Amino acid sequence: MNDLSKDAVNWLVVGEEGEGQRVDNFLLRMLKGVPKSHVYRILRSGEVRVNRARVGPDARLAAGDQLRVPPIRAAAPATRAGTAPAGAGAIPPILFEDDAIVALNKPAGLAVHGGSGISYGLIERLRQARPDARFLELVHRLDRDTSGVLLVAKKRAALVGLHAQLREGQTDKRYLVLVRGKWRDAVRAVELSLTKFVTGDGERRVRVESEGRSARTVFRLLRKWPDAEPPMALLEAELDTGRTHQIRVHLTHIGFPLAGDDKYGDFAWNRTLVKQGLKRMFLHAQRIRFAHPVSGDEITVEAPLPPELARFVARLDAGREAASDE
């Protein structure tokens, strides 16, 4: 929990790294090891104060603010018998790093942050591995089952600058996807508005709805296997907007479900894919291009196709070659 006293009230002066940050996010970063629920409890109770005034979780901090933090004891992380403690695990491979940003190659199966029953995600692992880092914040997110390039800001100015580029559509994000069906178009733009909703069992989902937020994905054909059973195609997906589950929902709506998609895909096909060796969703954040938030230089970061996905593509190619030899 950094160097904060666990037995007395702490008074912190917010530095430049906290400028513009929400107070809840600032506390979650400072109080490493303290459950998120406890952080929000002390905020709701008024025990946390900024310049001696009570604040809500969404209050924004400014450099020089005085922050009152009550005594807090970090509970030891709970573990299951025979498992490693929460937070254990190496950080993913680094694809690019300088003084302002770090780009990581996130594997499928790793959440980008804790929550919803997950004690530690990628950002918590990174903070744990770098206890002296003054600022580490996610620039964007990837679904837990998506692999590929993920950006983390090491300075608030970098975070603000990259967020502005994302909002204004100035970044270029490309994904690789495998779909079911006879895809024919070399390039196909899909513009369908999306709306978030909650299912009866409390799960968050997205659907196409005319009254939703505009969403545009451009798909480019890279390879296809029209004679496979069922036919399949490998596509590049370019995100012109960054809505939740955008690629997955767009593909299912136009009749080309994403391989391994357990929310919107073809569930019977998914079971067959598992037997054939594909045990994850085929959605990979391959590349992102952006202007460096400090220097302005154009930066391109790429993540190679993970071995388990590359092997499945090779298997499809081998099946096509075998069929052509018959």
Q: Please, what is the end-to-end C-alpha distance for the chain in angstroms?
A: 65
Q: Amino acid identity of 289?
A: R
**Which one from 143, 145, 266, 317 is the annotated catalytic residue?**
143
Distance, CA of 168 to CA of 240 (rounded, Å): 10
Distance, CA of 180 to CA of 251 (rounded, Å): 10
143 is catalytic: yes
DSSP 99: S
Alpha-helical (H) ranges within 72-196 are: 122-129, 156-167
Distance, CA of 147 to CA of 245 (rounded, Å): 14
Contact yes or no for 28/39 (Cβ under 8 A): yes
Checking DSSP bridges between strand 147-153 and strand 283-291, what pairing results, if any? parallel
Active site residues: 143
